[in-house]
Amino acid sequence: MKVAVHNITGKETTKKVDLSNDVFGVEPNDHAIYLDVKQYLAAQRSGTHKAKERGDVKGSRRKLRKQKGSGAARVGDIKNPLFRGGGRVFGPRPRNYDFKVNKKVKRLARKSALSYLAKDKNIIVLEDFSFDAPKTKAYIDLLTNFDQLDNKTLLVLAESNKNIFLSSRNLKKAKVVLASELNTYDVMNANKLMVMESSINEIEKNF
């Protein structure tokens, strides 16, 4: 698949790049995408929730009244879950929400997500560039040149670039990632995928 290369002013250059059909032109698998996104979101959960059960509540273990003869229901100590201030029954405990997804499924999911964007022509290839200093306005100008300021964008870099990352950090709908960190959730969550020319080889090599 041939795609034109643009400069940061938004204009096409004379160069074109060939996107591999093995990565950007596969038959999308929706279930693989679902599993990979589900695992990604599950891994974001801290799982530190905890409620006090009757063994965790501070209080006396003294029996409140005798077992029989009062005419009321039998009760134990003040930490009984039926009483106000008592422990909670089957409350949440710390846990890990992560689960395993096979590498081949994850690879298929990422290829499927990229293929969806390529099919809808939502991939923009950019000439390699850098900023002299971290300035949010410079990144805003870049997005404005492509009329993407109001859309969710994902810029993929071949290698770390501090100035580009810091320039995009204050923009809510803009995200910058390395090709080695590209994941299905970020790709599917973006309206436009902006790819550095040098990062295409990295993406195809990783997938």
* 91-147 confidence digits (pLDDT tens): 999 999 999 999 999 999 999 999 999 999 999 999 999 999 999 999 999 999 999
What local confidence, expressed as pLDDT, does residue 206 receive? 86
- pTM to 2 decimal places: 0.83
What local confidence, expressed as pLDDT, does residue 207 receive? 81
Beta strands in the chain (DSSP E): 2-6, 12-18, 123-126, 153-157, 174-178, 192-196
What local confidence, expressed as pLDDT, does residue 114 receive? 95
In the predicted structure, residue 182 carries a pLDDT above the cut 90: yes
Residue whose C-alpha is closest to residue 168's, from 156, 181, 183 = 156
What local confidence, expressed as pLDDT, does residue 205 receive? 87
- pLDDT confidence band for 88 (50 / 70 / 90): very high
What local confidence, expressed as pLDDT, does residue 156 receive? 95
Sorted by where each begins, the domain ranges of the chain are 2-45+100-206, 47-96
What local confidence, expressed as pLDDT, does residue 186 receive? 95
Buried/exposed code over 54-80 (b: 16+ C-beta within 10 A; e: otherwise): beebeeeeeeeeeeeeeeeeeeeebbe
Output the average pLDDT for the chain. 93
Amino acid at the residue 120? D
In the predicted structure, residue 14 carries a pLDDT above the cut 90: no
In CATH, 2-45+100-206 is 3.40.50.720: no
Contacts (Cβ under 8 Å, ≥6 apart) of 36 = 101, 105, 106, 109, 110, 183, 184, 185
Residue whose C-alpha is closest to residue 156's, from 115, 203, 118, 117 = 203
